[in-house]
């Protein structure tokens, strides 16, 4: 089993959605990193770092980012982050090799050229794990999830989250404050947060601490997750895959008393 405390907490800053998803996939599959955020502009990255800098060990950032403020690039982000106490390490991930000299002068740890490869990303991560600027596992604070509501970024503590849902090639996070879009896959979330969220269905990860009801109707099993109970509460109904129903029930009963079990 992967030791979650040893994973590099990673922020990906890439404006092209396919490239962003591919880099996130490479980072997660390496089993050396946990992606805690994936955004598309310098402004969004700054929001993450200013609000949550201790939870990010390394930022993978492209140089040219459409949608960022005029004149702002990935190198602008590196330059401004150098003024933040406890700033993370930076890796430039771009298609343009001509920025390498300036990037290393700014103190970036590595420079990845597109197209990325599994081998090259793994080599980079192993180098980062040995870097003296990497804080110890004990010194890191728990990461928060960075979600989206239209053009705004929303920062959620794990304890506020009820469930993650994959639907129509998108990922959503259901929380006490509403439903938000997420750039990470369920697999990425599962790797980043470990046992806190339980896979009950191929399309659902749930926060076990917020499960309020287990419903069974014939061959179907559902969970109610949130505040209160079912119709009287505020939350979300989540289907449980048939092959996972027994294990989910046993998990819930293992930490509860009051039911006669035969």
Do 132 and 164 fall into the same domain?
no
Distance of CA 100 to the CA centre of its chain: 28
Residues 6+ apart with CB under 8 A from 27: 10, 12, 33, 35, 60, 121, 125
Do 62 and 117 fall into the same domain?
yes
pLDDT at 107: 92
Last residue of a domain, one of 108, 139, 170: 139
Is residue 50 a part of any domain in this protein? yes
CATH number of the domain that residue 204 is part of: 2.40.50.1020
DSSP state letters, 84-138 = STTPPEEEEEES-GGGHHHHHHTT-SEEEESSP-HHHHHHHHHHHHT-TTSPPGG
Do 29 and 108 fall into the same domain?
yes
Is residue 150 a part of any domain in this protein? no
**Residue 112's domain spans which residues?**
4-139
CATH number of the domain that residue 108 is part of: 3.40.50.2300
b (16+ CB within 10 A) / e for 116-140? beeeebbebbeebeeeeebeeeeeb
Last residue of a domain, one of 69, 104, 139: 139
Do 110 and 230 fall into the same domain?
no
Do 83 and 28 fall into the same domain?
yes
Do 166 and 226 fall into the same domain?
yes
pLDDT at 146: 84
Angle, helices 42-52/74-81, rounded to nearest 10 degrees: 20
Is residue 149 a part of any domain in this protein? no
Is residue 198 a part of any domain in this protein? yes
Do 52 and 81 fall into the same domain?
yes
DSSP state letters, 46-96 = HHHHHHHGGG-SEEEE-S--TTSPTT--HHHHHHHHTTSTTPPEEEEEES-
Q: What is the DSSP letter of 206?
A: E
pLDDT at 189: 79
Last residue of a domain, one of 90, 105, 139: 139
Is residue 240 a part of any domain in this protein? yes
Do 122 and 198 fall into the same domain?
no
Do 89 and 165 fall into the same domain?
no
Is residue 146 a part of any domain in this protein? no
* H or E stretch at 240: strand 234-240
Do 113 and 178 fall into the same domain?
no
Is residue 147 a part of any domain in this protein? no
196 with 244: CB under 8 angstroms?
Answer: no
How many domains does the chain divide into?
2
Instruction: Give the pLDDT of the chain (262 residues) as one tens digit per residue.
Output: 445 557 888 999 999 988 998 999 999 889 899 888 888 899 888 888 876 545 788 999 999 998 888 888 999 999 988 877 678 899 999 998 999 999 999 999 999 999 999 999 999 999 998 888 776 554 444 467 888 888 888 988 888 999 999 988 889 999 988 999 988 888 777 766 766 788 999 999 999 889 999 988 888 999 999 887 766 678 899 999 999 898 888 888 877 777 766 5
First-residue to last-residue Cα distance in the chain: 32
3-state secondary structure 11-57: EEECCCHHHHHHHHHHHHHCCCEEEEEEECCHHHHHHHHHHHHHHCC
Cα 201 to Cα 56, 119, 205, 236, 243: the distances in Å are 29, 31, 7, 14, 9
Matching residue, tokens 């009801």: 213
d(CA 192, CA 34): 5
Do 26 and 126 fall into the same domain?
yes
d(CA 163, CA 193): 12
Do 128 and 169 fall into the same domain?
no
């Amino acid at each position: 089993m992967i030791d979650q405390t040893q994973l590099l907490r990673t922020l990906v800053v890439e404006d092209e959605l396919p490239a962003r998803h591919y880099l996130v996939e490479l980072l997660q599959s390496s089993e050396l990193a946990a992606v805690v955020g994936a955004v598309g502009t310098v402004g969004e990255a700054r929001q993450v770092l200013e609000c949550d800098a201790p939870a990010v060990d390394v930022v993978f950032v492209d140089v040219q980012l459409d949608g960022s403020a005029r004149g702002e690039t990935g190198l602008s982000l590196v330059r401004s982050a150098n003024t933040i106490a406890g700033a993370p390490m930076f890796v430039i991930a771009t298609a343009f090799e001509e920025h390498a000299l300036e990037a290393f002068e700014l103190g970036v740890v590595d420079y990845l050229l597109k197209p990325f490869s599994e081998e090259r990303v793994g080599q980079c991560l192993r180098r980062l794990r040995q870097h003296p600027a990497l804080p110890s596992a004990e010194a890191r604070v728990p990461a928060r999830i960075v979600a989206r509501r239209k053009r705004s970024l929303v920062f959620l503590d794990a304890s506020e989250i009820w469930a993650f849902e994959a639907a129509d090639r998108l990922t959503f996070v259901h929380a006490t404050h509403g439903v938000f879009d997420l750039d990470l896959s369920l697999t990425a979330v599962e790797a980043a947060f470990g046992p806190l969220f339980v896979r009950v269905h191929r399309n659902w990860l749930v926060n076990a601490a917020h499960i309020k009801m287990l419903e069974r109707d014939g061959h179907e099993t559902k969970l109610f997750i949130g505040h209160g109970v079912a119709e009287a509460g505020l939350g979300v109904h989540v289907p449980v895959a048939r092959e996972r129903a027994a294990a989910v029930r046993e998990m819930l009963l293992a930490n509860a008393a009051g039911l006669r079990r035969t």
